[in-house]
Structure 1
Amino acid sequence: MPHPCARINPAALAVAMAASLAVGSATAAATDLYYERSLMAEAGARCNLFTPQIQSALVSAREQARGAALRAGGSTHDIRAIADRARDRARSTPCDSRDLGIAAQRVRSSFAGYARLIRQDFPGDVGVWRADRSVNSRRPVWKLSQDARQGALQMRLGIAGRPGAEHLMAVATFPDRVPPYTARIVMRDRRLTTGPYLDTRGASLKSLPLHMRIPRSGPFESYSAESRSPSGADLLPSGMASGWAFRFPAAAAAAIAELDPRESIQVEFLFASGPPQRLFLEVGDFTAARAFLAVRAG
């Protein structure tokens, strides 16, 4: 049976694109919205339908819809199949199609305001990614971040730096211990597993603790920090008087972006003596937030 959105319906797309950009409710409509945004994002890139700002907003909204569809109960296999159908449909539709042109104009109208946003929060079940695409060439700033805390250990992880020199970083404070000699990001090994590890044991996924959203004993992949230094005051989160900054390779951010939004990652700090300290963060809409940052607001 063909997908109900196999034909480009400008009126239906207008309703979908005008809908809230926040994660939708747990209904079948989430997968339809993901299909529609995937179709238009693919068609937009192939046919050059949108400005860079509109295209980045559409890609971000597509990834938000993907997260909503997965949280609504869609399987990874089903979501991938929907993306494939949308891609095939977009590639088989002529760029001068009248219906595509009408749908593209509706997208422009719906996303024009969103494309001009400077800051956006991307909430998950537990954590929130905070994105900021304002330009500040004088000092390093957080472009994307999520905070975590456990006892006296406080940390912020995300994308930080100056324009053109932004990296995945963690800034943390260790008031009760000598600073760690390094840190690493640990996550489910995407190459050796078929999907996320979510140890619900009958509980609601919405309230599932982050330590139960990552495998207990692997298989894992990890990325060690490339550098460690005292953090500058510009990157210290509110309430943190001093801290240490750890810079991670770009491959770590790319790996996080490929994880399921429902799972978590672990940041592990290693000390010369004593056990490591670990903090967990929700993957959430990391990919959508990165897409939001991809093109400066204009």
Structure 2
Amino acid sequence: MPHPRSLFNPRALALVALMGLSPTAAGSAPADLYYERSLMAEAGNRCGLFAPQVQSALVSAREQARGTALRAGSPPRDLQATFDRARARARSVPCDSQDIVIAAQRVRNAFEGYARLIRLDFPGDLYTWKADRSVSAQKVFWRLTQEVQQGEDQMRFGLAGRGGADNLMAVARFSTDEAPYAARIVMRNRSLTTGAYLDSRGESLRTLPLPRRLPKSGPYEGYVAEARSQAGTDLLPPGVRAGWAFRFPAQAAAAMADLDPRESIQVEFQFGSGSTRKIYVEVGDFAAGRAFLAARPS
């Protein structure tokens, strides 16, 4: 399976630069790619330029470009300003202008193969999100998942559902026989902080352990699981015969998608003995994977 970035051909947006809709040539820097993909995604949304498969592909590619730019050192505030410029430019160009018509056709051609993809991997620094756009009316299965092993504890985390309806879930198996009675997601509070907490202490951010990608003492925002049950075999991690499934509110997925891809979140499991087990998840390209799922392949 090719890396998602290879499926978005920057040359398809080169015309956008020539039209004066982009400040620089396509692909010249991560922040420039973010501008170009944001511009066409916003124009597509405003003018109804693309089929759902292409529009979701553009949004996914935009989020990947954002993650790449952040990992390359672009400040989050600068990227927000870049997005605002792209949105303003997209809103100022008439939907029926020849420039937009030509650029939109180039984008459609670039994504002809992408629209038929069923599965795609989104590699992160330490873990990978695996996306699956299959749809079943009978079977519940993972649509976007990250496999985590922490000591002897195993967890599958991500979006699972039936018939295209996705729920944020954690399915875990623990080294002890004790069953967790509750779970919650803990992440950086976005409204009370100015950006990601990354405790590098001179180390490479690309290899930074997940516990050091979350503030030690807050401020946090948390999301308590809405439901708990024994996990079905189709949702369990590989080789695991039994485990516990927790479903979280939709707001948790939206909040996670808004985080810096270099961050981590923490899933806390609480036991009747009073103990708590914490398992960490890399945010990575969760937002890009979520956008990939937004439309069924043609």
Aligned residue for 2:114?
114
Shift of 1:117: 0.6
Shift of 1:166: 2.6
Shift of 1:10: 5.7
Alpha-carbon separation, structure 1, partners of 2:211 and 2:86? 34
Letter in 2 for 1:282: E
TM-score scaled by structure 1? 0.91
Aligned residue for 1:123?
123
Distance 1:199 1:276, change over 3 A: same
Q: Over the residues paired in the alignment, what is the CA RMSD in angstroms?
A: 2.0
**Higher mean displacement: 266-275 or 37-46:** 266-275
Letter in 2 for 1:288: A
Aligned residue for 2:247?
247
Shift of 1:284: 0.7
**2:276 is equivalent to residue 276 of structure 1:** yes
Q: Which runs of 5+ in 1 are unaligned?
A: 20-27
Alpha-carbon separation, structure 2, partners of 1:181 and 1:165? 25
TM-score scaled by structure 2? 0.91
Aligned residue for 2:287?
287
Q: Which runs of 5+ in 2 are unaligned?
A: 1-13
Asked if 1 retains the 8 angstrom alpha-carbon contact of 2:138 and 2:163, the reply is no
Asked if 2 retains the 8 angstrom alpha-carbon contact of 1:10 and 1:100, the reply is no
What are the Cα deviations for residues 110-135 of structure 1, in whole angstroms up to 9, with x where unaligned?
Answer: 11111211011111111111110111
Alpha-carbon separation, structure 2, partners of 1:252 and 1:212? 21
* Secondary structure, aligned partner of 1:235: coil
**Higher mean displacement: 97-106 or 240-249:** 97-106
Distance 1:163 1:111, change over 3 A: same
* Secondary structure, aligned partner of 2:293: helix
Asked if 2 retains the 8 angstrom alpha-carbon contact of 1:31 and 1:69, the reply is yes
Aligned residue for 1:101?
101
Aligned residue for 2:234?
234
Letter in 2 for 1:233: T
Distance 1:164 1:103, change over 3 A: closer
Asked if 1 retains the 8 angstrom alpha-carbon contact of 2:154 and 2:237, the reply is no
Alpha-carbon separation, structure 2, partners of 1:164 and 1:132? 11
Alpha-carbon separation, structure 2, partners of 1:282 and 1:9? 38
Aligned residue for 2:258?
258
Alpha-carbon separation, structure 2, partners of 1:282 and 1:191? 20
Asked if 2 retains the 8 angstrom alpha-carbon contact of 1:267 and 1:280, the reply is yes
What are the Cα deviations for residues 119-177 of structure 1, in whole angstroms up to 9, with x where unaligned?
Answer: 11111111111110111222110011101111221000111121154311110112413
Shift of 1:12: 9.9
Asked if 2 retains the 8 angstrom alpha-carbon contact of 1:189 and 1:220, the reply is yes
The equivalences for 1:218-233 within 5 A come to 218-233=218-233
Asked if 2 retains the 8 angstrom alpha-carbon contact of 1:185 and 1:267, the reply is yes
Letter in 2 for 1:258: D
Asked if 2 retains the 8 angstrom alpha-carbon contact of 1:35 and 1:82, the reply is yes
Asked if 2 retains the 8 angstrom alpha-carbon contact of 1:10 and 1:102, the reply is no
Aligned residue for 1:136?
136
Distance 1:10 1:296, change over 3 A: farther
Alpha-carbon separation, structure 1, partners of 2:162 and 2:212? 35
Alpha-carbon separation, structure 1, partners of 2:18 and 2:51? 22
Asked if 2 retains the 8 angstrom alpha-carbon contact of 1:35 and 1:83, the reply is yes
* Secondary structure, aligned partner of 1:177: coil
Runs ≥4 residues deviating over 6 A: none
Alpha-carbon separation, structure 1, partners of 2:62 and 2:166? 24
Aligned residue for 1:166?
166
